[in-house]
């Protein structure tokens, strides 16, 4: 069981069976279209939301870490996390709490 990157624009579109959001993040999830035994994760961060590449990488790492902790990796899921808020204005601890709250709903 592992976490794999979601590649290709076709995997980011289509019908997602689950959607939840707040003012900082949007989390989309669906059962994987193919029979897999791992979770695929895609992270979308626009340059206008977070202009520095260093910050975007840090945010991706934070999101990946939170997904590994919160989601059962043996499930066959596709998860897309969209960052919507200007992230430097959002503190690191506050971002963790918001994302944790959104990912908790996926566990059910």
Residue 32, CA distances (Å) to 16, 77, 79, 81, 96 in order: 10, 5, 9, 15, 25
Of residues 33 and 38, more confidently modeled: 38
Q: What is the pLDDT of residues 80-101, one digit of tens each?
A: 898 887 665 667 788 888 888 8
Is the full-model pTM beyond 0.85? no
Query: 82-101 burial string, b = 16+ CB within 10 Å, else e?
Result: bbeeebeebeeeebeebbee
- Name the 3-class secondary structure at 42: strand
Task: Find residue 98's DSSP bridge partners.
Answer: none
* In the chain, where the domains are located: 3-106
Residue 30 has pLDDT above 80, yes or no: yes
Of residues 35 and 41, more confidently modeled: 41
- Name the 3-class secondary structure at 5: strand
Judge contact between 76 and 6, C-beta under 8 A. Answer: no
Task: Give me the pLDDT at residue 10, please.
Answer: 65
Residue 108 has pLDDT above 60, yes or no: no
Task: Give me the pLDDT at residue 15, please.
Answer: 75
* Token reading at 64: 């990946």
CATH number corresponding to 3-106:
3.30.230.10
């Amino acid at each position: 069981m592992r976490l794999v990157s979601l590649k290709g624009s076709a995997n980011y579109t289509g019908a997602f069976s689950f959607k939840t959001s707040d003012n900082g993040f949007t989390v989309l999830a669906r059962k994987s279209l193919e029979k897999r035994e791992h979770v695929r994760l895609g992270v979308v961060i626009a340059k206008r939301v977070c202009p520095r590449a260093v910050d975007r990488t840090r945010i991706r790492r934070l999101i990946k870490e939170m997904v590994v902790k919160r989601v059962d990796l043996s499930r066959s899921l596709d998860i897309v996390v969209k960052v919507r808020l200007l992230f430097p204005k959002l503190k690191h601890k506050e971002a963790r709490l918001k994302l944790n709250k959104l990912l908790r709903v996926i566990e059910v």
